[in-house]
Amino acid sequence: MEQQHPLGHRAATEEAERPEFKLLIEHSADGIVVIDDGGLVLFANPAAEQMFGRPAAELIGTPIGVPIIAGETTEISLLRPDGETIATEIRVVETRWRGRAARLASLRDVTTRRVTEERLRQAQKMEAVGQLTAGIAHDFNNVLTVATGALELLRGGPGDPAKAHKMIDAALAALARAERLTTQLLAFSRKQRLEPAPLDLDRILVEMEDLLQRAAGPRVELGFALARGLPPALADRTQLETALLNIAANARDAMPEGGRFTIATGMRDIDEVYVRAHPEAEPGRYLTITASDTGIGMPPEVARRACEPFFTTKEPGRGTGLGLAMVYGFVRQSGGHVHIDSRPGAGTRVTLYLPFAPAPRDDPAPSPAAAPAALDRGSETVLVVEDDAAVRGLACEMLRDLGYTVLEAASGDRALRLLASRRDIDVVFSDVVMPGVGGLDVAREVLQRRPCLGVILTSGYDSSYSDPDGILARVEFVQKPYRQAELAGRLRKVLSQRKRERDRQP
């Protein structure tokens, strides 16, 4: 048990100079100083002399120089004259000194404790990184085994078309699994691209009833407790739906013999008391979705780790351990909070705290824009900028298959040289993250020097890059891995927009 401060509530009514109290002060391992109403030191014990690095004779009559608030415990960094910094916990009470009101401050050196806590946090981080790395390797090796094996069989030239289609389907399914895995990883790291919009939580749950029932399984009774009339939340609908399906799947696994799964909506405040116990939360009022099951529940040590990536209590093959990690990452990136309440034998309750959508402005409704051309092919010239040769080659083949003339650049520098020498380029399709000149730099040059060109950027990360010039708001963005149909649609959209802009020019 941690040692208690020598100052208790009784000190407020004690005379600091009473012999028994003074003896306690003199021999205390904590630094103790007496301060008058003006903040000047009246007394300092030997431990305080050591902490401040100055003798009591120098301290007396000088300002203490640290926050002194009676009735509160604070922590500061105390800088000694020799340059050493000490993490110091201060507790202050009212007392009397030589017949007048004063304050008695106890200063505890908690440097060693803070160093130990920081080392423990670092060790926990490294353990989480190790789990993450092992989980990624395991899951991607499974994906690569399926995709590589299917493609090898195809390269062998199977004569049966049905077998060939089966191998292609297996490879595509494996790659779709890899895509879902990276999406979950980005969600946990709060790096996936979100498209937040005002959401009617009650309506979404009603529309998802069939999906949620299938995710929970036929043995589970699904129920709703909707608040009705709630203001809209601000979140990405697709990610919210995925989060709810993950929670429903966890509830199913927690109730192998069946049970009840209830989802409720409401509003709730997070106050300062809650924040002290959950430092990652921000105080304020939130909209809530609370999902409760009557399953086996979790002991505290498991509940605390439930949102860690790849942490799972399920047997092999029953899950990656990314479901709740994805939920946590999505909600945190949305500006919200996740709370899990669970006890063995008493079920689990997961509460998502989501921010309110801002009130709509009274702006006039914009006039309807012309519908984009419904074309998926073209004959224009596209400059593909990608440093990864395999990805660049695939993108070029996709575009040539759609009828486009394609130019290639393996770097941003090479792209800029081509743009300076070729006037027949219509669209630049560039990766964002490249050595040297990156995609944002290429886009900036295009927008400044040749604004008539279309620009599409792509990345395996989301679009949350440092972008002081607002480049991303002026171009199209395609998330990797992209498909041919998506790329074709973005190209026609950009080309149609540029044509309309040219037509409007005098």
pLDDT tens digit string along 62-83?
887 766 666 667 877 777 888 7
pLDDT beneath 70: ranges in the chain: 1-21, 66-72, 120-139, 141-143, 156-159, 180-194, 305-323, 360-375, 461-465, 506
Regarding whether 182 and 204 lie in a shared domain, the answer is no
Regarding whether 349 and 256 lie in a shared domain, the answer is yes
Three-class HEC string of 248-301: HHHHHHHCCCCEEEEEEEEEEEECHHHHHHCCCCCCEEEEEEEEEECCCCCCHH
Regarding whether 339 and 207 lie in a shared domain, the answer is yes
Beta bridge partners of 351: 290, 339
- Is the residue at 366 inside a domain? no
> Position 65: which residue type?
G
Residues 298, 305: contact at Cβ < 8 Å?
Answer: no
**Rounded alpha-carbon distances, angstroms, from residue 211 to 93, 207, 260, 370:** 59, 9, 16, 35
Enter the pTM of the model: 0.43
Regarding whether 388 and 416 lie in a shared domain, the answer is yes
356 DSSP 8-state letter: B
- Is the residue at 360 inside a domain? no
- Report the pLDDT value the prediction gives residue 19, as an integer from 0 to 100: 67
Q: Reading across the β-sheet that carries 284-293, which strands appear in turn?
A: 220-225, 259-270, 284-293, 348-354, 337-342
- Is the residue at 210 inside a domain? yes
Tens digit of pLDDT for each residue in 159-217? Answer: 677 777 777 887 787 777 777 666 656 655 545 566 788 999 999 999 888 878 888 88
Q: Which of 293, 282, 201 is nearest to 248 (CA)?
A: 293
Regarding whether 392 and 265 lie in a shared domain, the answer is no
CA distance 481 to 179: 7
- Report the pLDDT value the prediction gives residue 356, as an integer from 0 to 100: 93
We report the CATH number of the domain holding residue 326 as 3.30.565.10
CA distance 488 to 494: 10
We report the CATH number of the domain holding residue 67 as 3.30.450.20
Domain that holds residue 79: 9-109
- Is the residue at 261 inside a domain? yes
Q: Which residues contact 386 (CB under 8 A, 6 or more apart)?
A: 392, 395, 409, 410, 430, 431, 434
Beta bridge partners of 199: 233
We report the CATH number of the domain holding residue 425 as 3.40.50.2300
Regarding whether 99 and 154 lie in a shared domain, the answer is no
Regarding whether 213 and 310 lie in a shared domain, the answer is yes
- Report the pLDDT value the prediction gives residue 375, as an integer from 0 to 100: 47
Q: State which H helix or E strand residue 108 sits in.
A: strand 100-109
Regarding whether 201 and 183 lie in a shared domain, the answer is no
Regarding whether 331 and 391 lie in a shared domain, the answer is no
Domain termination residue (choose one: 109, 138, 170)? 109
Beta bridge partners of 92: 105
- Report the pLDDT value the prediction gives residue 142, as an integer from 0 to 100: 66
Regarding whether 241 and 347 lie in a shared domain, the answer is yes
Q: Which residues contact 357 (CB under 8 A, 6 or more apart)?
A: 197, 198, 199, 231, 232, 233, 234
Regarding whether 441 and 339 lie in a shared domain, the answer is no
Q: Which of 333, 355, 327 is nearest to 198 (CA)?
A: 355
- Is the residue at 471 inside a domain? yes
Regarding whether 480 and 385 lie in a shared domain, the answer is yes
Q: How many domains does the chain have?
A: 4
User: Radius of gyration of the chain from Cα atoms?
Assistant: 31
